[in-house]
Every structure is written in C-alpha cells, then in structure tokens.
Structure 1
Amino acid sequence: MHGLEGAPDLTLDPYILFLLGLGAIVLLVSWAPKGLRQVPLSLAMICVGLGITIFSLDILSFNPDPRTYDTLTERMTELVVIISLMGAGLKLDRPVSLKGWGPTWRLLAIAMPLTILATAWLGMAGLGFSLAMALLLGAAMAPTDPVLASDVQTGPPRTGEGNEVRFNLTAEAGLNDALAFPVVNLAILVSISGAAVFTAGEGLTEWLAVDVLWKFAAGAAMGWAIGKAMGWVMFRAHHHGIARHADGLVAIGATFIAYAATELVHGYGFLAVFICALAIRGSEREDNFHEQMHDFAEQIERLLMMLVLVLFGGALANGLLDALTWTDALVGLAILFIVRPVVGYLSLIGSPLMRRERVMLAYLGIRGLGSVYYLAYALNHGDFGNSERLWAITGFIVLVSIIVHGITATPLMALMERLEGPLRDRTSPANPPPRDEQPG
C-alpha cells in the first residue's frame, strides 16, 4: 500500500509500558493513603485489582507466577518485609516491658503456637498434606503480616496516634515473623529427612541448638548491638550526633546492615531488624529524626508492597488458584476466620484489655506477604514435592485477607477509636481503664 513506509511504529514497547505503570504506582503510593482513610478500601486491594486487570488484558507479556520465579519471589517479599519491620519498630512509643507489652507476649507465646498446631492439623486431616507440608502451612499462616497490617498499626513516632489494638498489632507483627522461622526450618528438615526427625531424632538436636537457640540469640544480640551503635552515632557522637545532618535514608541503611550482618552470623535477620529499630528508638525517644526515618521507610515499603501486590494480582489472573479445591477454600477460610480469632481471643483472656479490644486483636490477624515469603523460602530450601495446592491455598488466604480485612479494618478501627480515645498503657497503675470499661 502506498504511503505506509513512513507510518509510525505503533508497537507497544514493554519498557515504556513499565515506566507508565511505575509512574502510576508511585502516584498511588503518594496519594492513595490519604484518600482511603475515610473509606472501607485499602491500597492493597487496589494494587491486586490493578494487577488482575493488567495481566488479564495481556498488556504485559510475562507471567509473574511465584511458582516459576520462586527465587525472585523470595527475595522481593524478603525485602519488603524487612523494611516494614524497621518502620514498625520506629513507630512504637512505648518502651519494651513485660507489663506494657503484656497482650503482645500473650499473642506470641500462646496464640501463635496454637495457630501453628491447629493449622498444621487442618493441613493433615483436612487437606491430606504430608507432615512437612502441614508444618510449612502452619508456620506460613501463623504470623500477622507487618506489611499489609500497616493500615491498622500505630501512627508515626511521637504522635501517640492509635489505641491498644493498634499498638499490640504493631508489636506482634514486628516479632512474630521471626518466631515462625524455627517451624519453617523444621518443616524443611522433615521434608528432607522424613519422620526420622521425630522417631530417630535425626537432625532434631541440631535444629534445637541452631535454629531455636543460636539463631534467636544471635538475632536479638546483633539487633540490639547494631541499634545501640546506630543510635549513638545518630544522637550522641560529637555531642549532637549526625541526625541533624542526615535524612530518612538512614533507616534503609540501618535495615540492610542489621539484616545482612545478622544473616552472616546465621541469626534471624527479621528479629534483628525489629530489635535494631527498637534500640534506635530507645536511644533518644523525642528526637524528630525518628519521624524522618519512619516516613522514608514507609514510603519505600509502600512502593515495594504495591509492586509485589500488582504482580500477585497478575499471578492470580494467570492461574495461581487453579489447583484450589472447595475443601482447600473451606480450610483456608477456617484458618483465617476461626483459628486465629479463637486462639487469639483465648490467649488474651485475663489481660487488662477490654472485651472489644480482645475481639479486634483476634480478628485482625492479617495474612500477607510474610506468608508468601515463608512459602517461597521453604520451597527453595526443602523437598516438598508438588506444591501447586500449597501455593493455591496460600494465595487464596492472602487474597481473602486483603479483601475482607481491607473492607472492614477502617470502619472497625474508627469505631474503636471513638470508643477508646487516645492510646494509653492499660498495664500502668497510672492509667487504669474507666469504670465503664473494666475488663470483662
């Protein structure tokens, strides 16, 4: 045909499309949190929906299936989780103590092990999983996600924004990711050695010594030491410290140093990052540099979270849930809306929290990117065989949590804040509950 030689090439360049999508995501990172505060909708829901739409329309040519890109999935989710842990630790105004963090300790010491056991039992009895796969499912589903739970966590440092529910969800999410690691490693061990781990004790002693004792001790010690050193440099060195000459990027540097240094000595890096943040915060609680670090870490976290969730939506659009059965779906709903709420509530009986606060803490056991990380990590290091159904049920639980918790969390937290007022430490004799709010 005449005149077509000079026609422009209308082929869509994937790189240009990527830049267009990235620009839209960056704008969402900046604007969406403010616009969504008053509506029952979360940023995570928008990202997943965006991913489903983009990949359903074949706008991008690749399939972001975590089963194909298992190592990339592990690393991307690992990165967003550790940055989220730093932000969570910097948020907490209340110093660590047995009484002040009482409900958190209950959730970690009682609710989390019971959740693992109940979920593993459902995996074996309800889904027919092997012991290794059931243990992995239990460990992956036990932690409250520090990334997707950010909407129900406390406000920035020194603002006092929040209530007892927000505080304890933040503290729980900061610690329970690391606490799931020993069970994940046990599942890996069982996947390789089989029942001999328990019948003959094959590898069990080493697991107890290394994965439980050493890695926890190393994670806690390294996190505390690095956090104290960073706090001294920021706020004490040369009389005034360097905080006034630095910016929020310091938070990312501290995150990477704490995580990498701890992993080098074979400790739990997740634990180290959160404790590092607590140690930095404790070095000088009233300096406004904490807010700069927190805000920068939160922005990076949201950007990475959105990228991962768009890819998660793409995986859903391309068949991540194809292996899901009705039984899998029912068990997934039971894990999310029966196991966690029941054991969470039971663990808080006897705490100084109000009944409605216990209900909220038990209900808001949000599952998300941490669960995806643990699944990818274990499958990359163990021998679990066909993992199609395991990926499907995990993806289903994360999707349902994003939708249901995303819709209900904002109005429920708004109701709680109207009823409870500002955050106060219920364990302190100076701040007892009002007479009409005594625990019951």
Structure 2
Amino acid sequence: MGIELDWVVLAILVAFIVYSLLTNAVDRSLITLPIIFMCLGFLVSDPLNAAAPPEVLNEGKRLLAEITLVLVLFSDASRVQFSKLRQDWALPFRMLLIGLPLSIGIGTIVTLLVNPAGGIAMALLTAAVLSPTDAALGLPVVASPEVPERLRETINVESGLNDGLVLPFVVLGATLAAAGGSVAQTDGLALSALSQIVLGPLAGISVGWLVAKGMDFAQSRDLTAEAAEGVVFLATAFAAYVAAQVIGGNGFIAAFVAGMVFGNTYRNDIRFVHEFMEGAGQLLTMSAFLVFGALLLPDGLAHVTPRAMLIAVLFLTVVRMGSIWLSLTGSGLPSREKLFLGWFGPRGLASILFTLVVMDEFDIPGEAELLSCVSMTVALSILAHGLSATPLASRIGRSGQSGDAGKTD
C-alpha cells in the first residue's frame, strides 16, 4: 500500500513540476490551471483512494481546505485598497452590495423551486456556497490588456471581496440546515452563529491593525529583514483565525477582515503578500483543484441527479447573469459589458473550500445533494469559463475599440 501511495504522490509532484516549467506556454493556450489539475485529480482518484486510508484522505483534504481558505481570504482582502477603490468604486459597489445579495436571494428561490424537498435552509446554504466567484478561472480575462481596465478591475475587486462577504450567509445556512431548517429547533445555534459573525470581524480588526502598525514601526527603524515579511503574512492570517476561534468567532471571517484592515493600515508596499501567493499560494491552488477532481468530483458524479445539473446550469447563467444585469441597471455600461461581467463570475476555489469545511463542521442531512450541486457547478464552470476566457477577452477588446472609434467619428 505504501509503495502504491508513493507512486501516486510522485506522479502528482511530477505534474506540479511539469506545469510550472510550462507555465507561459499554458497561459498562451485555452487550457487553464484549474482544468489541468481537476482532470489530473480525477485520473488519480481511484489509485489514490485505493492507496490511502479514508481517514487520512479526509483529514488531509480538511487541513488543505482550512489552510488554503485562510490564506486566500486574507490575501484577496489585502489587495483591495480603499484609496484606489474610491476612484472607481461604482461598478464593484453595485455588484457586491446589490448583485451579491440578489444572487443569494434568487439562487435560494431557484434552488427551492427545483428541489423543494431540500427545504429553505439547504436552498440558502447552496446559494451561499455557489455565490462567490474565482478570478483564477478567468485569469486570461483579468490579465488581458485587451479587456478595458475598468472591467478587469471590477472583476478583481468583486472576486477579492465576495468570498468574505458571503461567509455569514454560509454560516447561517449551514447552522439552520444542521438544525433541520427550523428556527424553533436551533436553540443556541442561532446565537452561536450570530456570535461567530460578530466576534470574527472584531478579532480580524484587532489582529490586522496591531500587526500592520507593529510592522510599520519595526520597518521604520530597520528592524525587519525583507525575507521575514512572508512569515509576518502567514502568521497574521493564522493569528486572526485562531484569535477568532478562541473568543467564539468565525476564523474565516476574521482572516478576511484582518487582510482588509492590514492591507489598508500598512503604510509600505504590500507586494510580499502577493509574491507569496503567486509562489507557494499557487501550489496550494493546484492542490485544491487536484483534491476537488480526486475526492469531491467522483462523489458528486456518483450522486448527480437531473435536479443537480439543472441547478448548476441555472447558477452559472440565470442566477449569476440576471443578478449582475439588475445590479448594473442605470450604470451606463453597454449591454455587451454587462453580459461580460455577468458571465465571468466563475465558481471555483471558494465554493470548493466552503463545501469541504461545511461538510466537516456540520451534520447536514442533504450533504450528498449539496456536494452534487457544488461539484457539477464548479466542474462546468472550470470548463466553460476556462475555455471561453481568451476568446471572449479578445472579443470584448475589439468591441470596445469599435465603440470608441464610433464615438470618435
């Protein structure tokens, strides 16, 4: 058994190396990182499950989910600079504060209509888990100079903040679903969920502000080596998580808030956070999509139903695109750009990690249905958004140039 597992692990590590060596070549193709590692995970699913005990796999995927989610939440939030956002805040503001609640609300209604037996609590949880977007799936769009800067920045800000903003809805939905969906049965669970949502941000604010001020103080006196900056990032993200757990708050919400406070309090260049996530962070991302393909997707396919497939398609189209279209009404954007922003709301890392954590922390009656819906939505999104990113980026660039030329004439 040990030898078989060693061979599987070796094959995975070789795939990591080969991908890293061919990164630029992959970026020029239609194939994306999530597509590659989802497919690789699916290919090694059987040998991996045969070689490793179930308890080891379960513990490993939970640990990976927690570590990756904490770092992603902190890193994404730290990138959003309020000073820059004030210059062009209208589109992200509309999509986050109008489009995101609409997506959760419409998604809850759609899920309840398609699967009324699941109940409103499971419908809310499903909608919350499937609402955050992942810019990594549409990286050719975010990185393409052909796409107008305002659209790229809007997608960046939205994907950076919506996973943290949706967390309270995930906690509430999971709490109600675990309690049977009845408020009368929750007893102290509702209060516990409320305390997590309130105390989590308090821990995040405290840790983020104190470390940012401490780092400014140390660097102004040349006390900090440049190599230690990455350690500060890691320690701060996990300190916020643990501090929240200690006082009864939600650690993931704390990590998100800590990142936002740290990024906007720290006076020096925060590039060390981004550099870490581009290196070690990418390894975590590759691992997360591999785990999805190996451990979640096969289970999702095993329990797939026509209802789950319909919910997946509706979330990627009607729910997402309809919510964004409504939120951008009156913004002055042309229809093609509204549709573009609506389409590029791919589901990926956050939905995967939320599902792993929720399934581990809560005893949810409709767990198989939830896993099936999330797996199908993420798998379809990885393929559809990954393959359409480059062509649509070029098309929206040409459309923008044509529009500008028309205005000039």
TM-score with structure 1 length normalisation?
0.78
Asked if 1:136 is matched to 2:125, the reply is: yes
Asked if 1:78 is matched to 2:58, the reply is: no
C-alpha contact 1:189 1:203 (8 A) present in aligned 2: no
2:323 counterpart residue number: 343
Please identify which structure carries the higher helix content.
2
1:4 counterpart residue number: none
Asked if 1:258 is matched to 2:240, the reply is: yes
Percent identical among aligned pairs is 24
Q: CA deviation at 1:403?
A: 0.5
| CA 1:396–1:230: 2 relative to 1, 3 Å | farther
Counterpart code for 1:176: N
Gaps of at least 5 residues in structure 1 are 1-10, 422-432
Q: CA deviation at 1:86?
A: 3.7
Counterpart code for 2:107: T
Asked if 1:210 is matched to 2:200, the reply is: no
C-alpha contact 1:116 1:142 (8 A) present in aligned 2: yes
The CA distance in 2 between the partners of 1:43 and 1:145, in whole Å, is: 13
C-alpha contact 1:92 1:167 (8 A) present in aligned 2: no
C-alpha contact 1:77 1:370 (8 A) present in aligned 2: no
Q: CA deviation at 1:233?
A: 4.5
C-alpha contact 1:341 1:363 (8 A) present in aligned 2: yes
SS in 2 for 1:144: coil
Counterpart code for 1:21: A
Q: CA deviation at 1:256?
A: 2.1
Counterpart code for 2:302: D
Asked if 1:326 is matched to 2:306, the reply is: yes
1:169 counterpart residue number: 155
| Corresponding residue to 2:17 among 18, 27, 31 | 27
2:361 counterpart residue number: 381
1:310 counterpart residue number: 290
1:101 counterpart residue number: 89
The CA distance in 1 between the partners of 2:396 and 2:359, in whole Å, is: 40
Q: CA deviation at 1:343?
A: 0.5
SS in 2 for 1:246: helix
Q: CA deviation at 1:53?
A: 2.1
Deviation track 1:51-75 (CA, whole Å, cap 9, x = no partner) reads 222235x376247989x95554343
| Corresponding residue to 2:280 among 277, 300, 303 | 300
2:176 counterpart residue number: 190
| Corresponding residue to 1:181 among 167, 189, 192 | 167
C-alpha contact 1:116 1:139 (8 A) present in aligned 2: yes
Q: CA deviation at 1:281?
A: 4.2
| CA 1:340–1:256: 2 relative to 1, 3 Å | same
Counterpart code for 1:133: M
The CA distance in 2 between the partners of 1:91 and 1:33, in whole Å, is: 23
1:41 counterpart residue number: 31
The CA distance in 2 between the partners of 1:298 and 1:255, in whole Å, is: 16
C-alpha contact 1:90 1:294 (8 A) present in aligned 2: no
Q: CA deviation at 1:186?
A: 2.0
The CA distance in 2 between the partners of 1:356 and 1:174, in whole Å, is: 23
Counterpart code for 1:164: R
Q: CA deviation at 1:44?
A: 0.7
CA RMSD of aligned residues (A): 3.7
The CA distance in 2 between the partners of 1:193 and 1:293, in whole Å, is: 39
Select between 88-97 and 299-308 the one with higher mean Cα deviation.
Answer: 88-97
Asked if 1:88 is matched to 2:73, the reply is: no
Counterpart code for 2:191: E
| Corresponding residue to 2:384 among 379, 384, 404 | 404
TM-score with structure 2 length normalisation?
0.83
Asked if 1:228 is matched to 2:202, the reply is: no
C-alpha contact 2:119 2:181 (8 A) present in aligned 1: no
Counterpart code for 2:309: A
2:100 counterpart residue number: 112
Q: CA deviation at 1:245?
A: 5.3
Counterpart code for 1:412: L
Q: CA deviation at 1:397?
A: 0.6
Select between 361-370 and 199-208 the one with higher mean Cα deviation.
Answer: 199-208
| CA 1:343–1:133: 2 relative to 1, 3 Å | same
SS in 1 for 2:27: coil
SS in 1 for 2:50: coil
Q: What is the number of equivalent residue pairs in this alignment?
A: 405
Larger radius of gyration: 1
Residues 60-71 of structure 1 aligned to structure 2 (within 5 Å): 61-62=50-51
| CA 1:69–1:190: 2 relative to 1, 3 Å | farther
